[in-house]
Amino acid sequence: MDFNQIFRDRTKKFSLEIIKSLSPLPYSDAVSIIRKQIIRSSTSVASNYRAVCRARSEKEKFAKICIVVEEIDETQFWLEIIEDLEYLEDKKLLLLKSECEELVKVMTTYKHKLSQNL
């Protein structure tokens, strides 16, 4: 399996895990806002990574990976907020944070590599 397919699958799976983990939380204004923001940012990671894979030029690929890095960083921020507010059980949160951190590292490295090719 190639790198692009692996990370198309991983980013999609990550966004699905975010949705599944936060959907059961009871409604409140704060939870609603945070849930909406993290679901938006995590699904944006997955959809924009798919766009990276379909890019028609190196410049377009770089522009899309910049969005991916920005969105995965935002997702990491929302996971920190969720942790501080103790909205998820520790085990589930640890898994999400771990995968998010790996995706941050991979996507940042990929962005750096692409920037050197421009």
Q: How far is CA 80 from CA 21, 62, 85, 86, 112, in A?
A: 15, 27, 9, 10, 25
- How far apart are the C-alpha atoms of 11 and 56, rounded to whole Å? 21
Per the document, the length of the chain is 118
User: What pLDDT score was predicted for residue 117?
Assistant: 86
- Are the C-beta atoms of 96 and 18 separated by less than 8 Å? yes
Q: What is the pTM of this model?
A: 0.95
Q: Band of the pLDDT at 1, cuts 50, 70, 90? A: low
Q: Which domains does the chain have, with CATH numbers?
A: 3-117 (1.20.1440.60)
- Are the C-beta atoms of 72 and 91 separated by less than 8 Å? no
Span 44-72, pLDDT tens digits? 999 999 999 999 999 999 999 999 999 99
Sign, Cα dihedral of 56, 62, 65, 71 = negative
